[in-house]
Amino acid sequence: MKLSIIGSGYVGLVTGTCLAEAGHTVICVDNNQAKVKELQAGRIPIYEPGLEELIRRNVQLKRLSFTVSTKEAVEKSEVIFIAVPTPPQEDGSVDLSYVEHVAREIAEVLPEYRIIVDKSTVPVKTGEHVTETIRRYCRKGVEFDVVSNPEFLREGSAVADLQKPDRIVIGVASDRPVAAMKAIYEPFKAPIMITNLNSAELIKHAANSFLALKITYINLVAAVCEASQADVTQVAEGMGSDARIGRAFLNAGLGYGGSCFPKDVSAFIRIAEELGVDFGLMREVEKINASIPERFLKKLRSSLWVMRDKKVGQLGLAFKANTDDVRSSVAIELAKRMAAEGAILRCHDPKGGEKARELLPAGVEIVSDAHQVAEGADVLIVATEWPEYRLLDWHKIKNSMRTPRIFDGRNLLNPAEMKSLGFEYTSVGR
């Protein structure tokens, strides 16, 4: 089918690429001319495993192209996806101005019947507003349908998530767009759920909030484990092997971060509030999650005694492994707080170092070899769970440190192994 994606950010670019890979002809639109030029030249603005090869392949096959022109995209496509940012506003509610702007732009150039699909994470009832906006701004009275098709991909495994989704949610207000939407996703061989428009929108916020709740729950269980000499990894295994609970998203650590969960949890609280529902449960989740880095720092301070002038080596800056994304990263927050308390920081991240530079105080050093962070350090912090950190030369690291202490905020390393190497090793909830 002929498709276009308005907004070539994370979700837009990965979605467009995977839809092209599935055999559709896809035009990706972005209003940032420089970005479009880069993409046309084969340069990818984000790191996502497998994405670059897929983009290159599909551009060569002429199934994937990039433009700044919404008009061209709308004219040439049967289905138009909206994948623009929906950033948080100061009060936690969602800024829908990009979605509204794109809806107007589409309306003004609609040549004939089109399906307009919202992929951005939006509050329930946005589809109704988009429908109303297009109706108002489309002078020619052309017919159209608005569909909600939320995206569940995770950064770091976006391509795999998109190609093998657990389910595809399609929210519609009439039957007319259903066949086309099913045809788009047919190659993915995944269960398709047809819902009404509002339910589809709600599924996304409810799912992300639930996952954030699950992480917060295990982080509190970890605190109980610490106080009772239990091991949170074993508790999570035991809980998670109950099929009703599941092991996923029960990894205790530094709390959830990134550009989705924090934003979506506070949006969901505001959305419920506006609908007259007090979602105090999620307010508590927000509060607990915000307190986790401090709990970690407290343990660190009790080992270092004085933070000022201590040499801290930090492994990891990205908000999670396999991504260069450092937005709302707890690892960045930790580094900033330790630097503010006078620690001398040396950090490493396999992919996120460059992007982190802009967010970290000037005195924080970023090095390209992970082993370097340990040289002369009083303590080593594991702040992002990059699997390759497990394979570092820990013997060499131990010998290069001033005092061999590890604070593993992600439970990445094996406690028994670290202790047998001679480290003083502290992790979360075990």
118 lies in the binding site for ligand UGA (CB under 6 A) = no
Applying CB under 6 A, among 116, 159, 232, 260 the residue interacting with ligand UGA is 260
Check: CB of residue 304 under 8 Å from CB of residue 268: no
Applying CB under 6 A, among 66, 261, 386, 423 the residue interacting with ligand UGA is 261
- The nearest distance, CB 100 to ligand UGA, in angstroms, is 20
208 lies in the binding site for ligand UGA (CB under 6 A) = yes
Q: HSE (CB half, 13 Å, CA atoms) of 94?
A: 28
320 lies in the binding site for ligand UGA (CB under 6 A) = yes
DSSP state of 94: B
Q: Is the dihedral of CA 254, 255, 261, 267 positive or negative?
A: negative
Applying CB under 6 A, among 76, 101, 135, 154 the residue interacting with ligand UGA is 154
368: left (phi over 0), alpha (psi -120 to 50) or beta: alpha
- The nearest distance, CB 376 to ligand UGA, in angstroms, is 29
Helix (H, G, I), strand (E, B) or coil at 311: strand
Report the C-alpha gap between 20 and 237 in whole angstroms.
39
Applying CB under 6 A, among 98, 137, 152, 217 the residue interacting with ligand UGA is 152
In one-letter notation, the amino acid at residue 155 is E
Give residues 210-239 in contact with ligand UGA (rule: CB under 6 A): 211, 215
258 lies in the binding site for ligand UGA (CB under 6 A) = yes
The size of the interface with ligand UGA (CB under 6 A), counted in residues, is 21
**138 in active site:** no
- Give me 104's structure tokens: 């107007």
121 lies in the binding site for ligand UGA (CB under 6 A) = yes
- The nearest distance, CB 346 to ligand UGA, in angstroms, is 22
- The nearest distance, CB 188 to ligand UGA, in angstroms, is 16
Find the DSSP H helices in 229-256. Answer: 232-240
66 lies in the binding site for ligand UGA (CB under 6 A) = no
Q: Is the dihedral of CA 83, 85, 88, 93 positive or negative?
A: negative
Q: How far apart are the first and last CA of the chain?
A: 52
Applying CB under 6 A, among 249, 279, 371, 421 the residue interacting with ligand UGA is 249
Residue 257's contacts (CB-CB under 8 Å, 6 or more residues apart) are 319, 320, 328, 329, 330, 331, 333
Name which of 110 and 412 has its Cβ closer to ligand UGA. 412
**Binding span for ligand UGA by CB under 6 A among 94-102, 258-266, 279-287, 337-345:** 258-266
Catalytic residue among 18, 225, 260, 347: 260
Please give the biggest Cα pair distance in the chain.
Answer: 75
Beta partners for residue 344, in sequence order: 311
- The nearest distance, CB 227 to ligand UGA, in angstroms, is 20
Q: Which residues are catalytic?
A: 260
Q: Which residues bind ligand UGA (CB under 6 A)?
A: 121, 151-155, 208, 211, 215, 249-251, 253, 256-258, 260-261, 264, 319-320
